[in-house]
Structure 1
Amino acid sequence: MEYKSAEGVLPAELIKQIQRYVDGAVVYIPRNETNLKRWGEQNGTRSRLRQRNQAIYQRFLEGETVADLAARHYLSEKSIRRILREEKRN
């Protein structure tokens, strides 16, 4: 989240109106719902996890065991099974 000075982005009339309610206080203005991004989209985490999960599924298809996959990726066997179920559906 980036801090911006109200004087630089809002019209003077609007600043005066806001000051009537929160004079001098810090106010958080949430993003418009149409501009919201899902978890991990902005920094690439979602995409990296998707690639990792696809690689896990491919290694499983090639014969690697759930236990070996869990050890390789520092995940629990339960997490590996969940990933395999999800990847099988896709």
Structure 2
Amino acid sequence: MTYIKATSVLPEELVKEIQKYIQGETIYIPKPGKTYKQWGTLSGERKRIDERNNSLKEAYRSGAPMGQLAKEYHLSIETIKKIIYTK
């Protein structure tokens, strides 16, 4: 995230209006909802985790015990439970 001086990108009237609410502080202005991407979608990590979780759930449904899955996937049993019981 980069910081941009408000007076260099916003009209003077808008800066004055914002100053009524906040002065000399850092303010985050989020992207519009349509341009927001979920965590990991660009890197492919979200897809990898979803595939891992689906594989884990399938193994559990096929009878693999939680302790074995925890060792195989290098996760705690509590994390295995969260994945298995999440829809």
Band the TM-score falls in, shorter-chain normalisation: 0.5 to 0.7
Q: What's the RMSD between the two structures over aligned residues?
A: 3.2
Distance 1:30 1:15, change over 3 A: closer
Match of 2:12 in 1: 12
Distance 1:4 1:56, change over 3 A: same
Query: Any gaps of 5 or more consecutive residues in structure 2?
Result: none
Instruction: Give distance in 1, aligned partners of 2:3 and 2:39.
Output: 18
How do residues 76-87 of structure 1 correspond to structure 2 at under 5 angstroms? Answer: 76-86=76-86
**1:13-51 alpha-carbon deviations (Å, 9 max, x no partner):** 2224445662xx13313437x62969xx23335544322
Runs of 4+ in 1 over 6 A off after TM superposition: none
Give the TM-score of the pair, scaled to structure 1: 0.58
Instruction: Give distance in 2, aligned partners of 1:76 and 1:42.
Output: 22
Q: Which has the higher contact order (CA 8 A, sep 6+)?
A: 1
Query: Any gaps of 5 or more consecutive residues in structure 1?
Result: none
Q: Give the % identical residues.
A: 27
Give the TM-score of the pair, scaled to structure 2: 0.60
Instruction: Give distance in 1, aligned partners of 2:79 and 2:16.
Output: 53
Instruction: Give distance in 2, aligned partners of 1:68 and 1:35.
Output: 41
Instruction: Give distance in 2, aligned partners of 1:16 and 1:65.
Output: 62
Q: Which amino acid aligns with 1:43?
A: G
Q: Going by fraction, where is helix more abundant, 1 or 2?
A: 1
Match of 2:27 in 1: 28
